[in-house]
Amino acid sequence: MKTGKKIEAGFFLLFFLFILFSVLVNFSAGKEMGLKSFYFGKNLFIMLPPAFVLIGLFQVWVKRETIEKHLGTGSGLRGHFFVILLAGSTVGGLYVAFPVAAALYGKGAKLSVIFSYLGAAAIVRIPMTIFEASFLGLKFTLIRFLISIPLVIVSAEILGKYLEARSYKMKENSK
Amino acid sequence: MLYLYAITITALVLSVIADRQKTRQALNIAVRRFTSILPDLLIIIVIASVVLYLIPSGTITGYLGNENKYLAVILAMLLGSITMMPGFIAFPLCGLLLSQGIPHFVLGAFSTTLMMVGIVTFPLERSFLGTKTALIRNTISLVIAIIVALTIGLFYQEIKI
């Protein structure tokens, strides 16, 4: 484990002890934070394990050539289209999207397509959209989609080009 | 959530049938990647619970209902950037805010930043993208949120040019 990660883990342990202590001495602010972190953490730990299993399967089964052909350099607008469809069906938001993006990148997807994926995974996920339309109206959702999707693609293209010119490499976060 | 599990289990079963060795390899990758981001996740949980404790939802309603529309949008974007909520909590909250008279375009700014910009998720994002690129991505997202909010405002005739 890297030192930075060790510090993070240590910090969490400290927080955990603080919550435990709060429960023991009945410190209400600490107890409430504990409860909030439990609900928030529970969600993450329900979503992430299956997502990582899928990433592992993707890593093993999908050939690099397939990804390069559809999402790599020269895939053009089609690459963005595919990846936005993929993002639309992703569950779990950006927590899941980052590792998926890293896996796609590792298999040869180009940077601008990666940023399209991240943007789309954040704001145009289908399961979430059903919620949105029912609470805020279909008109709201449609305007949001029609405006934000082109903006996501254009900004992803620019950012991808900019970073490629500076020979930027994304970390794959796996040792 | 259920359908994520359904897909994963189906894929896993198919993979085992096709090739046991490859499946084992896939699971190894899954465990390794998961444990490598685990410390980041734990930190996010700590920060999120402290932030959510400090900003109760009543406060959010108070700020977003500000008389000055442009100030309300800026506050919406600030609040949306700090707190990170999954869509199934964020949109019902937006629905509630709408029924309390918060205009659509403020909610456009709020929901977009809520989903795209995350100070809380920054440690995790940085470990994938690096600090500079993560900053650029979040900044671009803020700009997109502004444009989305203004367009929604025009369509609902809440903003007039």
State the pLDDT at residue B73.
92
Distances (CA, A) of B130 to A48, B45, B71: 22, 21, 32
**What is the 8-class DSSP label of residue B161?**
-
Closest CA to A123 of B96, B136, B110: B110
| CB distance A131 to A119 below 8 Å | no
Q: What is the DSSP letter of B72?
A: H
What is the rounded average pLDDT for all residues in chain B? 86
Position A91 scores a pLDDT of 66
Closest alpha carbon to A133 in B17, B85, B111: B111
User: What six digits make up the tokens of B135?
Assistant: 């900053």
pLDDT, tens only, B2-14: 777 888 999 999 9
CB of B147 within 8 Å of any CB in chain A?
yes
Nearest to A11 among B46, B112, B140 (CB): B46
- B121 or A109, greater pLDDT: A109
Which residues of chain A carry a pLDDT beneath 50? 174-175
Q: Which residue of A has its CA nearest to B121?
A: A95
The reply to whether A46 touches chain B by the CB within 8 Å rule is yes
CB contact under 8 A, A34 and B141: no
- CB-closest option in B23, B125, B151 to A98: B125
Q: What is the pLDDT of residues B130-155, one digit of tens each?
A: 999 999 999 999 999 999 999 999 99
pLDDT in tens, B23-59: 999 999 999 988 887 887 788 788 778 877 887 767 7
ipTM score here? Answer: 0.79
Q: Give the pLDDT confidence score for residue B83 in this predicted structure.
A: 65
- Asked if the C-beta of B55 comes within 8 angstroms of chain A's C-beta atoms, the answer is no
Residue A173: what pLDDT?
A: 54
What is the nearest CA distance from A75 to chain B, expressed in angstroms?
A: 22
Q: What is the pLDDT of residues B72-84, one digit of tens each?
A: 999 999 988 986 6
**pLDDT at site A92:** 65
Tokens found for residue B8: 């994963």
Q: How far is A104 from chain B (nearest CA, A)?
A: 12
Residues of A in contact with B52 (CB under 8 A): 36, 40
